[in-house]
Amino acid sequence: MKNVPFKGIIAYPITPFDENEKIDIPLFKHLVERLILSGNHGIAPLGSTGVMPYLSDEEKEAVTEATIQQVEGRIPTLVGVSNLTTEKTIHHARFAEKAGADAVMIIPMSYWKLTDDEIVAHYDAVAQKISIPIMAYNNPATSGVDMSPALLKRLLEIPNVTMIKESSGDVQRMHYLRRELGEDVAFYNGSNPLALAAFSAGARGWCTAAPNLIPELNIKLYQAVETGDLEKAKDIFYQQFDLLKFIVNKGLPRAIKAGLSIIGENGGNLRSPLKPLQEAETEELKKIITTLIN
């Protein structure tokens, strides 16, 4: 049977920087610990939230190791290892496996739009070099390539490609996935404002940066869905909708960092060219969070 280590809320930590724009590893570990203690079901460093593409190879390795050390096996870890070249993707995937990751996430980054055959060969080459499972990630907005259900089906024929994360923002894609790939396909939602629709459609989990700010609401939504209580799920979803919308619209690293400050946590600095939210934006976020907490 397929190895599918994730279910529920998979939390994405940000990568905090110090005043010189170097990664602040102790602060990172603290942020990871918060995500574990608040009850999330998985943790995923080096995602978009963690500004993985802005990091050097050495930095990615340091973040990977820091995560595994801090988690200490309490919840499963999903490490982002995507890279434009196949060689580098293999390098990072092997590093993650050796460091102790439970799975890796790979999006087919593509400066030059890749053909279906190139994408299959890319995943296949990586899969052959590791034995932990791979989550194939579809997000046309960031990768520049839209993997069709038919292509995802081909990828799932590779033994250790066992999971799909879908972030195209169109819930109908999840319906197609399930029809095309069967009821047992392990697909995960990566589009925050679609959380309710995706769970209703059968998503096994929700990959999200929101638990940095509102873990209880995220987890409660999952629990309501698990018990099949649609009314409750709807209520909890609408409570958090404004926040989900906000963090997506403003960019996750900027918005999560601002939100951490608002709730009294240190989120560190951003790396240029990313800049903090404008003051008016921060005020808007403050209002949303205040409403949620009271």
Beta bridge partners of 135: 105, 163
Binding residue (CB under 8 A) for a second copy from 2, 26, 37, 87 = 87
Tell me whether residue 222 is one of the annotated catalytic residues: no
| Interface stretch with a second copy, choices 150-158, 175-183, 258-266, 286-294 (CB under 8 A) | 175-183
Contact call for residue 158 and a second copy (CB under 8 A): no
| Interface stretch with a second copy, choices 25-33, 94-102, 147-155, 265-273 (CB under 8 A) | 265-273
- Residue 238's CB: how many other CB atoms inside 10 A? 10
Tell me whether residue 22 is one of the annotated catalytic residues: no
Active site residue: 60, 165, 220, 250, which one?
165
Active site residue: 137, 220, 250, 257, which one?
137
Do residues 130 and 103 touch, judged by C-beta distance below 8 A? no
Of 28, 38, 39, 37, nearest in space to 68 by CA: 28
| Interface stretch with a second copy, choices 23-31, 119-127, 129-137, 212-220 (CB under 8 A) | 119-127
Half-sphere exposure of 36 (CA within 13 A, CB side): 18
The reply, when asked if residue 227 is annotated as ligand binding, is: no
- What tokens appear for 285 in the block? 């976020």
Query: Which residue has 């990768």 as its token pair?
Result: 143
- Least CB distance from residue 204 to a second copy, whole Å? 13
Do residues 238 and 215 touch, judged by C-beta distance below 8 A? no
Of 233, 216, 206, nearest in space to 292 by CA: 216
Contact call for residue 145 and a second copy (CB under 8 A): no
**DSSP state string for 109-137:** --SSPPPHHHHHHHHHHHHTT--S-EEEE
Query: Which residue has 């940000």 as its token pair?
Result: 14
- Least CB distance from residue 37 to a second copy, whole Å? 28
Give the H or E element holding residue 25.
helix 25-37
Binding residue (CB under 8 A) for a second copy from 36, 62, 99, 171 = 171
Based on CB atoms, which residue is closest to a second copy, 102 or 204? 204
Binding residue (CB under 8 A) for a second copy from 18, 146, 229, 283 = 229
Output phi, psi for 79, to 5 deg.
-105, 130
Please tell me the count of residues contacting a second copy according to CB under 8 A. 60
Cis peptide before 273 (omega within 30 of 0): yes
- What tokens appear for 182 in the block? 């069967």
Contact call for residue 233 and a second copy (CB under 8 A): yes
Based on CB atoms, which residue is closest to a second copy, 249 or 266? 249
Residues catalogued as catalytic: 137, 165
Q: Residues within the annotated binding site for pyruvate?
A: 49
Binding residues for a second copy, rule: CB under 8 A, are 21, 48, 51, 53-54, 84-87, 108, 110-115, 117-119, 121-122, 125, 141-142, 144, 169-172, 175, 178-179, 183, 193-194, 196-197, 200-202, 225, 228-231, 233-234, 238, 241-242, 245, 251-254, 271-275
